[in-house]
Amino acid sequence: MINFVCVFSGEQLSLLLRHPDQPENSKVLKVALIGAPNAGKSTLTNQLLGRKVFAVSKKVHTTRSRALGVLTEEDTQIILLDTPGLTTVSKVKRHQLEKTLLVDPWNTVKEADLMVVLVDVGDRWMCSRLDFEVLKCLALHPHIPAILVLNKVDQVKAKDRLLDITAELTCGMVNGQRMRIKPVIKPPWAEKRPDRDPGPPPAEDSEGPEDSGWPHFKDIFMLSAVDSEDVETLKTYFMAGAKPGPWRYHSEVLTDQGPEEVCTNIIREKLLEYLPQEVPYSITQSIELWQDGEDGELVISVKLNAKKDTHMGMVIGPAGQMVARIAREAGDDLSRVFLREVKLKLSVKLRK
Ligand SMILES: Nc1nc2c(ncn2[C@@H]2O[C@H](COP(=O)(O)OP(=O)(O)O)[C@@H](O)[C@H]2O)c(=O)[nH]1
Ligand SMILES: [Mg+2]
């Protein structure tokens, strides 16, 4: 079945409220994706769903509220809870984000059957330790099984580093067992690093407060969320882990986001991608028009409100090229979300 987001919010809402069409032996798994901003949670969710319904960005914070993705295959339903990003307060201030981001992110995690901790191994600093907020989340829900997913392995050239990272992030323990990693014999000309030979495992009680790994992960995956084959492996793992239980949504549901929300997020993604520094964060959007066009297309018109002349100039770009590009790319993305041609018009206004 090909799922998509309904074009009108009323239809999308009634689909969400529709009684699940569950089979006799229905199975379900609620998965909470947690990880520092930029770890690739939205990319992974999109890849699992086979459709881009979540905005993706290099810059922190595209996801402003929690949303879920639903993947239904045969008798199994996987519900993917994309947490709003575990952002520290200082970061929130820096990027002038809305207060809504500070809503307790653990609430969604509480109801999960599985926690998936995503770590960006392309980020040398982030991947040497688990984010403090992530650790807190794991510690607060010790009864929910957790797995570690090392993401963006395509960005790591020396693959043996992945084993070092795994050892650090797991305190050398996986599924109740000490990890056994054979030391990699390096040629003499290889870069000299501090001795990382695992050697004899450290004693159990050596885990001091310095440790920033989690010794209770059930499984480890190493993948690239951008690679559909890699993600297929994880999908199979979820499918196999689903337990008998009632579906929560009708099998046609892809996400609980409304169509306008998807549209606003996709436009913000493009603003974040193409505009420098604080500019994208200061722009607000208002949807002016949302209707069927004459040739069966969906016509959307959105006003971008800029707070400063300079910002307005940047959004418009030389000869209006910037705003035209954003409209074109966001429109293309939206037509894939709605499986329908979308004509997206953007206008830029100064609103101090
Ligand atoms: N090279 C590479 N980039 C990735 C991968 N997964 C995600 N990204 C990029 O990482 C950035 C953050 O991704 P996103 O899904 O928005 O992260 P989120 O904040 O955790 O939702 C985006 O620029 C993605 O394109 C991957 O496997 N490989
Ligand atoms: Mg995200």
What is the domain-level CATH number for residue 230?
Answer: 3.40.50.300
351, part of any domain: no
Look at residue 183 in the predicted model and tell me its pLDDT: 59
Q: Does residue 205 have a pLDDT over 80?
A: no
Domain membership of residue 288 as a residue range: 259-346
Specify whether 282 is located in the same domain as 153. Answer: no
pLDDT of amino acid 38: 87
pLDDT tens digits, 119-138: 999 988 767 789 888 898 89
Verify whether ligand 1 is closer than 6 Å to residue 222 (CB atom).
no
- Give the residue-averaged pLDDT of 252-275: 94
182: Cβ below 6 Å to ligand 1? Answer: no
Domain count, the chain: 2
Q: How confident is the model at residue 11 (pLDDT cuts 50, 70, 90)?
A: very high
* Domain CATH for 280: 3.30.300.20
Structural domain contains residue 264:
yes
Q: Would you state the torsion angle of the CA atoms of residues 236, 240, 242, 245, taken in this order, to the nearest 10 degrees?
A: 120
Q: Are 192 and 153 members of one domain?
A: yes
Domain boundary among 244, 269, 289: 244
35 Cβ inside 6 Å of ligand 1: yes
Give the tens place of pLDDT for each residue, 279-299.
998 899 999 999 999 999 999
The string of DSSP codes covering 102-146 is GS-THHHHHT-SEEEEEEETTSTTGGGS--HHHHHHHHH-TTS-E
Candidates 273, 341, 351; CA nearest to 4 is 341
Tell whether ligand 1 has an atom less than 6 A from the beta carbon of residue 39: yes
Q: For position 94, what pLDDT does the model report?
A: 43
Is the residue at 254 inside a domain?
no
Whether residues 114 and 184 fall in one domain: yes
> Does residue 320 come out as left (phi exceeding 0), alpha (psi in the -120 to 50 range) or beta?
left
**For ligand 1, is residue 152 a contact (CB within 6 Å)?**
yes
Of 87, 88, 137, nearest to 115 by C-alpha is 137
The pLDDT-based confidence of 36 (bands split at 50, 70, 90) is confident
Q: Residue 120 Cα, ligand 1 centroid: separation in angstroms? A: 8
**Residue whose CA is at the smallest distance from ligand 1 atom 7:** 40
Asked if 263 and 235 sit in the same domain, the reply is no
Q: Is the pLDDT of residue 102 over 50?
A: no
Same domain, 336 and 222: no
Helix axes 9-17, 259-274, angle to 10 degrees: 120
Name residue 219's amino acid: D
- Measured from the CB, is residue 40 less than 6 Å from ligand 1? yes
CA distance 1 to 118: 28
Mean pLDDT for 28-55 is 93
Residue 4 falls inside a structural domain:
no
Ligand 1 atom 19: the closest Cα is on which residue? 38
Q: How far is the CA of 187 from the centre of ligand 2 (A)?
A: 40
- 285 assigned to some structural domain: yes
| Predicted local distance difference test score (pLDDT) of residue 59 | 80
Q: Are 96 and 237 members of one domain?
A: yes
Q: Are 128 and 122 in contact (CB under 8 A)?
A: no
Residue 18 carries which DSSP code? Answer: S
Average pLDDT over residues 240-266: 95
* Closest ligand, as measured to the CA of 41: 1
Ligand 1 centroid – CA 34 distance (Å): 13
Domain's final residue, options 244, 274, 308: 244
> Out of 40-49, 203-212, 232-241, 271-280, which region has the weakest mean confidence (pLDDT)?
203-212
Q: Bridge-partner residues for 192, per DSSP?
A: none
Pocket test for ligand 1, best of 46, 54, 56 (most atoms within 8 A of CB): 56
* Three-state secondary structure call for residue 306: strand
- Asked if residue 81 belongs to a domain, the reply is yes
The reply to whether 263 falls in a domain is yes
pLDDT of residue 351: 87
Domain membership flag for residue 250: no
Please check whether residues 150 and 292 belong to one and the same domain.
no
| pLDDT of the residue at 132 | 85
DSSP 8-state secondary structure symbol assigned to residue 298: E
The tokens of 290 are what? 């949302």
One domain for residues 132 and 76:
yes
Same domain, yes or no, for 208 and 266?
no
> What pLDDT does 89 receive?
40
Atom number in ligand 1 closest to CA 60: 19
The bound ligand whose nearest atom lies closest to the alpha carbon of 269 is 1
Element (H, E) at 287: strand 284-292
Q: Assess whether 121 and 216 both reside in one domain.
A: yes
Give residue 55 CA to ligand 2 midpoint distance, Å.
7
Mean pLDDT, range 194-210, rounded to an integer = 48
Looking at residue 5, its pLDDT comes to 92
Residue 93: per-residue pLDDT: 46
Same domain, 126 and 270: no
Last residue of some domain: 216, 244, 272?
244
- Determine the pLDDT at residue 181: 64
Q: Specify the residue with its C-alpha closest to ligand 1, atom 2.
A: 152
Which residues line ion ligand 2, judged by CB < 5 Å?
41-42, 63
pLDDT score, position 82: 77
Both 173 and 319 in one domain: the answer is: no
